[in-house]
């Protein structure tokens, strides 16, 4: 356990929290800039099992921010290249891969076995599908997104009563409606928000859940803003 000694010293994690991290399974949707950064910290921190989901292959234009991939990985399936990189980082973690675009049926098959889901995809349709399926299964999940010089993160708790869902919230965050591809993204912003997703996930698993609401990062002015979100009466997904 020397690998985790710095966690064991923390009042917020400790032996009990680290044990929970080791006993947990996370599904990570998207092995892009956010997913690479999140996966590194999840696996280096001793997460028991990680299932990586991504249909895509590594492109040269990914290498600036998708830090699990090397130049020689161009053309390779992202989940395969990422899993190889993560296994070298920490052989203690069990890695599973799903090399497909995740549809409702895939989520219904995968999520029941997981303690937590992280959506690090680059599109609104997938995020809404994760919202729907996590609501149906009462599964906590983390939404992380970034674009240009901005990031957003939320810890959603459909496992608790009367909590807002992602669709309840997005009205206050119109930027998420724009998909990432083509809009540009500053590489470190993806790393910061991806690391924040790992922080949220590991804290939640260790019994210290992060604050509710939507957390917005404005990298250009280096400001974080947290907004409260209420459950919307008449929400199409959770009402
Ligand atoms: Zn809702």
Total structural domains in the chain?
A: 1
Domain assignment present for residue 237? The answer is no
Distance 158 CA to ligand 1 centre (A): 10
Distance 147 CA to ligand 1 centre (A): 24
Strand order in the sheet with 116-119: 94-98, 49-53, 25-29, 116-119, 141-147, 150-156, 214-218, 223-227
To which residue do tokens 């459950």 refer?
Answer: 231
pLDDT of residue 183: 84
Distance 235 CA to ligand 1 centre (A): 5
Domain assignment present for residue 170? The answer is yes
The one-digit pLDDT tens for each residue of the chain (239 residues) are 799 999 999 999 999 999 999 999 999 999 999 999 999 999 999 999 999 999 999 999 999 999 999 999 999 999 999 999 999 999 999 999 999 999 999 999 999 999 999 999 998 899 999 999 999 999 999 999 999 999 999 999 999 999 999 999 875 444 444 555 578 999 999 999 999 999 999 999 999 999 999 999 999 999 999 999 999 998 989 98
Distance 99 CA to ligand 1 centre (A): 29
Distance 73 CA to ligand 1 centre (A): 40
Domain assignment present for residue 236? The answer is no
> Residues within 5 Å of ion ligand 1 by Cβ?
165, 167-168, 235, 237-238
Domain assignment present for residue 238? The answer is no
Distance 201 CA to ligand 1 centre (A): 21
Range of the domain at 217: 2-227
pLDDT of residue 177: 47
Q: Assign residue 23 the CATH number of its domain.
A: 3.40.50.720
pLDDT of residue 170: 78
Q: Which residues pair with 144 in a beta bridge?
A: 153
DSSP 52-120: EE---B--GGGTTT-TT--GGGTTSBHHHHHHHHHHHH-TTSEEEEE-SPPPHHHHHHHGGG-SEEEE-
Domain assignment present for residue 43? The answer is yes
Tokens of 136: 């149906």
Domain assignment present for residue 234? The answer is no
Distance CA 127, CA 143 (A): 8
């Amino acid at each position: 356990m020397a690998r985790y000694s710095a966690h064991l010293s923390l009042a917020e994690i400790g032996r009990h929290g680290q044990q929970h991290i080791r006993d947990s399974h996370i599904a990570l949707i998207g092995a892009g800039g956010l997913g690479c950064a999140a996966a590194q910290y999840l696996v280096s921190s001793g997460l028991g099992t990680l299932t990586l989901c991504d249909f895509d292959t590594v492109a040269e234009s990914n290498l600036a921010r998708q830090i699990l991939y090397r130049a020689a990985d161009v053309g390779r399936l992202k989940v395969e290249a990422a899993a190889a990189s993560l296994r070298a980082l920490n052989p203690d973690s069990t890695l599973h891969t799903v090399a497909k675009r995740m549809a409702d049926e895939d989520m219904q098959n995968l999520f029941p076995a997981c303690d937590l889901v992280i959506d690090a995809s680059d599109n609104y349709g997938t995020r809404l599908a994760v919202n729907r399926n996590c609501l149906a299964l009462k599964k906590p999940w983390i939404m992380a997104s970034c674009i240009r010089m901005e990031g957003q993160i939320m810890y959603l708790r459909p496992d608790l009563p009367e909590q807002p869902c992602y669709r309840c919230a997005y009205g206050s965050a119109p930027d998420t409606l724009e998909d990432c591809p083509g809009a540009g993204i500053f590489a470190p912003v993806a790393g910061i928000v991806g690391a924040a997703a790992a922080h949220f996930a590991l804290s939640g698993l260790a019994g210290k859940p992060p604050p509710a609401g939507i957390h917005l990062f404005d990298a250009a002015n280096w400001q974080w803003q947290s907004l409260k979100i209420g459950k919307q009466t008449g929400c199409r997904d959770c009402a």
